[in-house]
Each structure stands twice: as C-alpha cells, then as structure tokens.
Structure 1
C-alpha cells in the first residue's frame, strides 16, 4: 500500500503538461498566420496626402483695358467744352470675371469723363477672376486709369505739287514744293523738311541711283512733277 502511494505522487509531479499548452506544430502555424496578416497589411495601398498650393492670384484682364475706350467714345459735352484729364478707378470683379461695380478713386475733374469711364469699362471689360488659396474663383478688386485726350483727324483739304530734277546718275535734286490749295498736315511738313535737308523730295523719288533711260538705254535727265490733291467730303448716300 505504501509503495503504490509513492508511484502516484511521482506521476502527479511529472505528468502530462496543462491543457493550455500548444504543440510545436500548432505554435508554428500561429506564427505563420501572424506573418501573413502583417504582410497583407503592408501591401495595402495608402494614397499620398494632397498638398494644397496657395494661389491668391489677382484678377487678370483678358485684353488691354485702355484699348477698350476710343476717341469716338468721347462724351459730346466734354468735347464741346474742351475737357480732358486722367481718371483713376477701382473695379469689383465677381467670381465669373465680370465687373460688378466701378468706383472713381481720382476724378478727371469732369463728371462726364468719369461717368463714361466707368460705364464703358463695366460694359466691355472681362477678366480671369481672382483665385483664393485653394485655387477657387472669388470676388476681387482691380485698379487702373484712363487718360482722356482730344484728338481729331488732321488730314485737311489740300493740294500740293512736288517737282525735282532726276539726274543721269539717278539722283533727285533741286526739289521744289508748291502748295496749290489749303494747308499741308504737320506730319507731311516735317517729312518735307527732313528730306529737303538730304536734298530730295519726300518719299516720291523712287530709289536713288536709278536713272531714267532713253530708247537706247542711255541714262538721261528728267524733270519730274507730282501733284497730290486731297479732298474731304461727306459720304455719298
């Protein structure tokens, strides 16, 4: 009886491991499963963060604003009273690039010129709208100026005759200018003075050094006379 008790005690001490312990195969399978999960997690594609580049771009006119107003737009009352001057203005541009408001920041001294400036620019100007920091169109402001200056066509009724001697060397000399009617435009007067200093008539001589020739091809002198007659009238209906 005593001997049996000893054997049972030994068996209780060195018996089988607890039920929670894993076998070697089970432990290897657990490690393999964990590695597979980690590999799957690493293979997932994560989109990169999108960087937002600040814009804050000012509005841009699609064409020159100063060319949108012409001399023909001159207000009649300002023209009749010889009014001229520069107008400074500020435009409010909506998110679609249209002018929603125009303010005069410095007057020309003429309410007619100021008003005409804002009205014409508002009607005719178009913009690429301003952008915020996200690159989105927003309302914005734009400043510019316009100078009103009276100008008229300076081509009056006139008639003028140019005459000169074209030598056998093909050089125009002895230029004579006679006004037959009216008064020559200032631009033509200045051109004549410049060409007279060089000893030839204005832009009417052809190439210098090229003579006239007779029927046998021999260079000869020629007296040349040119008449310019300009008439300005109402158009025919």
Structure 2
C-alpha cells in the first residue's frame, strides 16, 4: 500500500513539474503567432485602402468560429475572405463587432479585448481613428493552471493525504506489535515466577500490565487483554 501511494505521488509531481512549463510555452508561441497574423492582415488592408482604394470589412466573431475575419473585393468584384482563428486558449472579452477600413483609409476608433485562460494574459487591441493603425497592449494577470495540472494537483493532494493516513496506520500497527511483544514477555516472566513457587505475580512495563496465578496469566492495557494463558 505504501509503495502504491509513493508511486502515485511521484507520478503527480512529474505531471505538475513537466507539463506546466511545456503547455505555457506552447500557449505563448500560439498567441504570438496569432497577433503576428492579425497585424499582417491589418497592414495589408491599410495598403489596399491607401494604394488601391479598396475597403476592407473586419469582423470579430465568437459564434460558429472564434476569429478575426477580413473581407474585401477584388477589381473583378470577387469577394475575398481571410480568417485568423484564435488559439483555443484565447477568448474574446468584447462583444462581437465589425470595423470598416474605408477606401480613403478612414476607420472609427474602438478597442477589442481578449483574455488568455492559459497564460492569464489580457490583451487590448486598440484601433486608432484615421488611418486605422493598431496598438496592442498586453497585461499579465498572474499564474495559470490547466485542467490537467489541476487534476494532477488534486491527485497529489489525495495522495499526500493517503500517505499520511497510511503512515498513521503503519504507526498504529507497529505500536500494537510492540505492545503484544512486551505482553508476551511479561506473561512468560510472570509464569516463570509462578513455576518457581510464587502464588501471585504482578508485573508492568511500557504501559502493559501482567498478572499471573496458578490458574493462569494475563497481560493487558486497561480493559484490553493482549495475551492470556490458562494454568492449572
């Protein structure tokens, strides 16, 4: 039982100490790539407005897809849609919205907010009035925990509690064995003295008491009998 508890504790510790840094780094990389893609699409939309005189509609959606979607038309009238999907840990903290970069490059100001449930980072995407330049503000909110890590920590807590219980049980059994050993020795000593001619013997050691007569011997703690033998 003790071995099983120790193995579970080690396994939980391995999960906690190895997956957290790995998942955190992967999340940071996916978020960095997402913002690079958004900036690139935004700059392309600005260029289309300045150089080609084409408007671009930019949608922030969170229903069927969580994305920032760019839509514009080519010279032939064909509609082009470019999607930048949010990483699974990144959530939209604003209402769904649409902003238009007009043919002359004008755009109305607003702020789109996002939060990462993995890295616990808040992002504000500030769209500036005029030519629609964007500013990105990032604020870390603190530590993070994945569901897997929470499970691992829960397992670890259960394992530690189990280990405490098992340790206590082992201690109780050890004390019982020691008391039984002392009781057996006391009974033997008492019966030896009876055999040498004494009518009654009383001994005590380490909290265990023993009494012996020619009718028998008994070792006990309080009202609990540990060892008992019959005599004549």
What TM-score do you get using the length of structure 1 for normalisation? 0.19
Structure with higher RCO (Cα < 8 A, 6+ apart): 1
More strand by share: 2
Give the number of the structure whose residues are more often helix, by fraction. Answer: 2
Higher-Rg member (1/2): 1
TM-score (structure 2 length as normaliser): 0.20
